[in-house]
Structure 1
């Protein structure tokens, strides 16, 4: 069929929808050279006419034409209202698996194609029947039938959101430069944003806000008057000129806050108004606040932009999956009852239908009464997606029940089902507006009108207060005490609590707030735990007392280790973890971090456990699924007092090698002593895994100020560079003893004095590497020092067995997600081979063939590594300027220096050459023999055996 023939046959055709729809579509197939439904799918389930079960509202299907994964198509008679047809199709899209295109047309004049991708902006293609001779417009139709991706808008909702956010960031900075308060700027811009949204979704009269901006561009001085008049009308409902404005309410437009804008500022708003705000993600509100208004508030709000796929990783297992399982059961009951009603006439059939209706009503009431709490809601991203998920569940139930023959009702679920707690007043407002926009968007996208009178319901269920502590007054206003904050009862608790490491609590929150936390949560949350752990604990208690049924939080990925895991242990032992992602990329304050997502509560409806997206039989407290739960490993007395974290400086005590050598060569000090007493080579993790930087450190050890002062050069350096920062330190000892390291670790130094060398490993490193350091080298706090000088201990620590153990019991750090090593969990829990434990003197190893074999393999590994790191032809050894220190390794020339810069342990283990691999395998075999085990055990078998040894020795 040619375009001319099609137009001649169908243009302005008087044929009714029912009579002409299928013939019209078949002619389009012939026109476009596309196969007809019967040629492709003889069942008609994936491509056919009248797809969907009988609707009680009339008609024979959810769509007149349907092609799964392509489109759903609704026909109407010539010149019918296509907006109504589109709304009808939207309401049934969920029953058709939400096809990417929704198409409506009348028989004789118009075809409209609406895009329906979840995360793309909306686009409408309109084709007049009389224009079908245009090859471009025919191409749109052909793509709809065969290649819908060609019609997908290039811009995602996130990209649109980022785009308009950047526009408003410019406006926000401009207003702040004029001296306006950041919070008031945020409030004002939220009003502008909502006006643009309301205009585009037809809640404000056609183009009213844009027209207002246009008039203000002619005379900027009038903007303030125009905006105040509009906001006032939106507050209570009223008129702007002759045009009626709906009653919006909700608190957003209370008060008369309006800022005068310059012509350039009005241009920014006018340009932004040109975007289609109906597609803008509600998370723009938090984005605007953070990026454009007050960056210092970002960590307080936690209102950063996070894409919906990440948030749904929490919402799905916490809310959607359990409620969907309940609907599956209810739907099966309804189907059985409706089948009975159809088979039995009379009173019995009516009773069966009534019972089916009652089953549907029970489920819908369950959804209406369901409550979700985000106790750290920020700008409301989790809340609005939770609301959307609940409305989707209600909508699907209504549509699927209608397919079974029950009547459909208007959606009942609204913003009242979500509750939030947020400390910052303006962030709480952001959350309310996000939820309002999300609610309106959902209604319109699913073919329903937005609620009115008022448009915005008050959302007192999003509270502005502290989620952890609360002041309980007693007597007059000056009396009372701090208590644990109460959370409202909620079926589900979700959210992204603030990320603040345990060591940063005091500096970020202040001593008083931290002491309140420690007192109120004593015995429940360790004092050194990250802040997010307090939310985990409160979620656990809500489950225990029956105030909630399922909890899901985004947490720091360090929650799997250290003090944080004590609460995770209680969760795993109690209600249990039902879903988790152990290590996911996330964004906090614009920076990439790694997080763990944890969902806990008893499984319901046969819900399977999931770990990192895969089915699991169990999930341990460290977010692993192995049969052996290594979180139960105990510290062993035989390992105590051997592994130490290096001293904590708290100040710039370190100096470069040139300065140190100048001090070393100085004459004796007034006390008759050399500076060598208080100067030591110094190394941290970077010096281990890269190249040593030739840094030294001033260490007065435990000397008094009077005994330290005579060491003139080092003391003056510390007085000038360290004392100013220590004068403001929160800890009394660090202020008063400013010349000493913050943590001096005298026990470690005493042990180092007794050995010529010791074993060191970085606390955080991509690879778990161990090295020998001379005892004169002081380790930084980022190193763990093991005070053994025998090759056997070195080999046992560098074995695969210890590496597997320490990786599982350590934490993870930074965006690189590098493993951490600690004396307590990495070393003190490790079960060394019997007879080769740290409690055994190294001298006793000489007669043990197992120890000798391990030592020889360890020495060979270390020798090969050192030869690669510092080849004899590229370095020369030079004695230090005074005795008592290790020789310096100096590049033999510039070319050698260039090569040596690449010779690092990190690069070596990145490459892992064959000789290194063989050396490690030989060491592993010797260590396996020392245990009396085969060398080819799997990782899980090694860990299982080590765990059994740990448990047996812990009980001994």
Structure 2
């Protein structure tokens, strides 16, 4: 199955529906549209994998489809449903068509589909599970937005091909303005804002030549008409055929109204876009997808920019919407209480300082309008005009086009809400002309003063950029009155890890955090928004905010860098969502692992911790998002408890020369006269987990001269020397003088070692750990405890340690990234009796013996969640039972209880360590 995203699938289905119906070819063309490769289709055509028993095409675990005689589609669908092969081959869907109508059924849910053949593109979302796309329900609800995005992208690319200068930095804003104007026109002609349905599309079709030679002139005239009051049109030379277009104002069609030239292809795409039903637009979703249309770097991921409403509500609900709904529930039908709530809602400001195309602002606006409407209904005023001003929904966005789309999305959302709650007549009557106020600032949020854009009293916006809506930079005070209102800051700032920031982004973080810490270089980019949010909250009483952030800001070495700076502003976490995947529309796309973090002034809010669909009230939430503790774990060079010291393995920095395959090593010994004493087994993370050791040359200084007499060794060592000399890193170049050995040697290895890979999957129930009696070289992708009692392995192999490392160490996406100084040395272990050590030693032995039974199965094989052998699982359960009884006299109920106990112990142990250190200094 190929990897296709929803936009690509919609495009393929649209092409299929536009072609003349070919009954022989249809099943294969349909499957190809959902990502099946030609080799798969060839096998189906040949009958090798086609399991149909009714003359159709049946793909196992996927779909059973057939072409019906004219008028017999329902009968054919029944035949497919009753087919024994459909059941036996576990088909998920059945589909029948005669090229005029189409019927299908989702066999898992029983949901049916029936449509005309040419309407198939409108229902492509029904079949998306065939392409392995999991966000199906959300996509199906927004199928229009995907179709519109696909068509707009074709138009955009065709226009840039015809007008290459419009793709330059200088003209790109003009191109973006043009696209925003088109979107507004398409929406207006389908929703009654324009006097006639399809007025814009039909006028362009009628008045522009088929060869597209004057298409740009026709559109330019329509834009001028929409920027000219009716009384002034005669003097402005607006022709009669443009007279029925309304005066839009609001700056939307002011400034430049030049239009790019059209090719025949571009004109065709324009008319296709206009033929869509723009009443279906979802401004909260559409904007986040079409911003990719105007971004060269993102266009390759077109259709993947999708932020689901449920994910946005994970931020907005706990931030303030849940409270508003609770107050609505408490108010009942009390008219005075309802009135006060309505006044409160009208003064709430929502501010997104990384607003993109405005989806958080639009969702907040729509949810607040729904609450206001319910208030009005209970007070007997169902059609009352809204008191919620769109100007209370403010944003900052770096990219000009996205900022323009954000305001356009809010304008569309306002109209849709008016139409829903007040009726189309009132909505249209009050919609035009648009006002010229702007409340989305185009700029760099980490360089701007948020208080200038969303000030304490809300009476003035000082900074506004020149944009599509023609707001001059020096626009004087706009009366966005909001005295006494609440401000809620929210959003989804850019995901850039510490090592993926460009020079500008590094400078942004330096500007925000540099005055406070020299370690800002180690921060993720999103940390800048957290720090600015903490500053804002400390400056504006009553403010709260919440951001989606990569979960790395709550893990590992970033915690002691970022969170003390947040806390020093008198700010605390008042709610959080534990790690979840913020995914998009791409097929098989894992998305980004994120958390949601809500901040407010100390002591002003109750604390709620969310995990999936569950919520828990807690006393406090720490920076690791652990309940009832705010302690920050700091790396230490020696263990806090009785466990033995753990060392990083040896680092080669050899350009792939000293470390080699076992086959290459055997060749050196057998065919090139290399002394086998210079060759040892080598283990890194992969080698330990997958049981596939490699080899390495291991030559100590005292034997270097002897070893280098061998020509094969001398050649390898010379390659190492050249590699190190050419390195950009001074530390590597320094070892060019000793190319026969690794650059960093681990602690002197003894007869045995406990090995822990540095990086491993989060999908195993326990951390991978192994035990070597003697001999191998442990590489720097592993940590090793040399010559340690075996009970240390019982600690590493426990659920307690899995939970601790998963919380305090860095995660790579969700994978574990182990650290000796941060994960092992800080792991709180109580004082152990001799009996405790003996019991844990036996547990470690039992785990090793249980593995041995399944030789040659590897750690990767044995620790698969689904197939882990019973005896090995039981050995680990016994290990957990023994260890956890040492901690609290019983098994822990869950991981949350484990973490709470571990953090409490860590707090106590570090306090004891501090007291002991102070006492030692005083004695000294």
Deviations 1:63-87 (A, max 9, x none): xxxxxxxxxxxxxxxxxxxxxxxxx
In the TM superposition, 1:691-730 aligns within 5 A as 691-692=691-692, 694=694, 712-715=714-717, 717=719, 726=727
Contact 2:576 2:610 in 1 (8 A): yes
Q: Work out whether 1:163 is the aligned partner of 2:147.
A: yes
Contact 1:213 1:266 in 2 (8 A): no
In the TM superposition, 1:95-244 aligns within 5 A as 156-178=140-162, 179=164, 180-181=166-167, 183-184=172-173, 185-206=175-196, 207-215=198-206, 216=208, 218-237=210-229, 238=233, 239=238, 241-242=240-241, 243-244=243-244
Q: Work out whether 1:369 is the aligned partner of 2:347.
A: yes
Q: Work out whether 1:541 is the aligned partner of 2:532.
A: no
Deviations 1:532-579 (A, max 9, x none): 122122212222222552211111122331234344577689544343
In the TM superposition, 1:319-398 aligns within 5 A as 319-327=320-328, 334-335=334-335, 356=336, 363-398=341-376
Residue 621 of structure 1, CA deviation: 2.1
Contact 1:757 1:789 in 2 (8 A): yes
Contact 1:764 1:813 in 2 (8 A): no
Deviations 1:887-933 (A, max 9, x none): xxxxxxxxxxxxx6x8734555542222112322343455457x386
Aligned to 1:55: none
Q: Work out whether 1:934 is the aligned partner of 2:918.
A: no
Q: Work out whether 1:923 is the aligned partner of 2:879.
A: yes
Contact 2:851 2:862 in 1 (8 A): no
Partner SS, residue 597 of structure 1: strand
Deviates further, 158-167 or 288-297 = 288-297
Contact 1:869 1:904 in 2 (8 A): no
Measured at CA, do residues 281 and 926 of structure 1 come closer, stay the same or move farther in structure 2, by a change above 3 Å? closer
What's the TM-score once normalised by structure 2's chain length? 0.66
Contact 2:573 2:607 in 1 (8 A): no
Contact 2:635 2:821 in 1 (8 A): no
Aligned to 2:792: 793
Residue 665 of structure 1, CA deviation: 6.6
In the TM superposition, 1:769-848 aligns within 5 A as 769-773=768-772, 777=776, 779=778, 782-814=781-813, 817-834=814-831, 848=834
Q: Work out whether 1:445 is the aligned partner of 2:420.
A: yes
Aligned to 1:911: 867
Deviations 1:219-255 (A, max 9, x none): 4111111111112222344555342332333444331
Paired with 1:639 and 1:627, the residues of 2 have a C-alpha distance of 22
Contact 1:286 1:379 in 2 (8 A): yes
Paired with 2:731 and 2:507, the residues of 1 have a C-alpha distance of 19
Paired with 1:502 and 1:302, the residues of 2 have a C-alpha distance of 27
Residue 596 of structure 1, CA deviation: 1.0
Contact 1:644 1:784 in 2 (8 A): yes
Paired with 1:455 and 1:604, the residues of 2 have a C-alpha distance of 46
Paired with 1:154 and 1:754, the residues of 2 have a C-alpha distance of 58
Deviations 1:767-800 (A, max 9, x none): 2121125776555555344445431211232234
Residue 381 of structure 1, CA deviation: 1.0
Contact 1:581 1:611 in 2 (8 A): yes
Aligned to 1:852: 838
Paired with 2:547 and 2:167, the residues of 1 have a C-alpha distance of 33
What's the TM-score once normalised by structure 1's chain length? 0.64
Measured at CA, do residues 755 and 853 of structure 1 come closer, stay the same or move farther in structure 2, by a change above 3 Å? same
Contact 2:576 2:625 in 1 (8 A): no
Residue 722 of structure 1, CA deviation: 8.2
Q: How many residues align?
A: 706
Aligned to 1:45: none
Aligned to 2:257: 256
Aligned to 1:880: none
Contact 2:624 2:808 in 1 (8 A): no
Partner SS, residue 862 of structure 1: helix
2:851 is aligned, of 861, 865, 869, to 865
Deviations 1:353-381 (A, max 9, x none): xxx4xx76654443333211101111111
Measured at CA, do residues 245 and 371 of structure 1 come closer, stay the same or move farther in structure 2, by a change above 3 Å? same
Deviations 1:139-196 (A, max 9, x none): xxxxxxxxxxxxxx99944111111211222223333445341745444333222211
Residue 935 of structure 1, CA deviation: 5.2
Aligned to 1:39: none
Residue 854 of structure 1, CA deviation: 2.5
Aligned to 1:757: 753
Partner SS, residue 598 of structure 2: strand
Measured at CA, do residues 408 and 190 of structure 1 come closer, stay the same or move farther in structure 2, by a change above 3 Å? closer
Paired with 1:471 and 1:598, the residues of 2 have a C-alpha distance of 22
Paired with 2:153 and 2:747, the residues of 1 have a C-alpha distance of 58
Aligned to 2:392: 417
Paired with 1:625 and 1:269, the residues of 2 have a C-alpha distance of 53
Contact 1:755 1:789 in 2 (8 A): no
Q: Work out whether 1:519 is the aligned partner of 2:514.
A: yes
Contact 1:752 1:775 in 2 (8 A): no
Paired with 1:645 and 1:202, the residues of 2 have a C-alpha distance of 69
1:583 is aligned, of 561, 579, 604, to 579
Measured at CA, do residues 397 and 905 of structure 1 come closer, stay the same or move farther in structure 2, by a change above 3 Å? same
Partner SS, residue 580 of structure 2: strand
Partner SS, residue 869 of structure 1: coil
Measured at CA, do residues 386 and 236 of structure 1 come closer, stay the same or move farther in structure 2, by a change above 3 Å? farther
Contact 1:217 1:267 in 2 (8 A): no
Aligned to 1:289: 291
Contact 1:286 1:303 in 2 (8 A): no
Measured at CA, do residues 835 and 451 of structure 1 come closer, stay the same or move farther in structure 2, by a change above 3 Å? same
Measured at CA, do residues 932 and 663 of structure 1 come closer, stay the same or move farther in structure 2, by a change above 3 Å? same
Paired with 2:582 and 2:138, the residues of 1 have a C-alpha distance of 25
Paired with 1:531 and 1:853, the residues of 2 have a C-alpha distance of 47
Contact 1:759 1:789 in 2 (8 A): no
Measured at CA, do residues 753 and 635 of structure 1 come closer, stay the same or move farther in structure 2, by a change above 3 Å? closer
Residue 463 of structure 1, CA deviation: 1.0
In the TM superposition, 1:538-617 aligns within 5 A as 538-546=532-540, 549-566=543-560, 567-568=562-563, 575-587=571-583, 590=586, 591=589, 592-601=591-600, 609-612=608-611, 613-617=613-617
Q: Work out whether 1:642 is the aligned partner of 2:640.
A: no
Residue 715 of structure 1, CA deviation: 4.8
Residue 449 of structure 1, CA deviation: 1.4
Contact 2:750 2:787 in 1 (8 A): no
Q: Structure 2: state its 5+ residue gaps.
A: 1-136, 451-462, 466-479, 913-924
Paired with 2:609 and 2:888, the residues of 1 have a C-alpha distance of 33
Partner SS, residue 356 of structure 2: coil
Partner SS, residue 188 of structure 2: helix
Q: Work out whether 1:467 is the aligned partner of 2:445.
A: yes
Contact 1:759 1:772 in 2 (8 A): yes
Measured at CA, do residues 695 and 465 of structure 1 come closer, stay the same or move farther in structure 2, by a change above 3 Å? farther
Residue 391 of structure 1, CA deviation: 2.6
Residue 420 of structure 1, CA deviation: 0.8
Partner SS, residue 855 of structure 1: helix
Contact 1:646 1:745 in 2 (8 A): no
Contact 1:652 1:718 in 2 (8 A): yes
Measured at CA, do residues 531 and 868 of structure 1 come closer, stay the same or move farther in structure 2, by a change above 3 Å? same
1:456 is aligned, of 412, 418, 434, to 434
Measured at CA, do residues 851 and 614 of structure 1 come closer, stay the same or move farther in structure 2, by a change above 3 Å? closer
Contact 2:647 2:747 in 1 (8 A): no
Paired with 2:580 and 2:410, the residues of 1 have a C-alpha distance of 26
Paired with 1:945 and 1:515, the residues of 2 have a C-alpha distance of 37
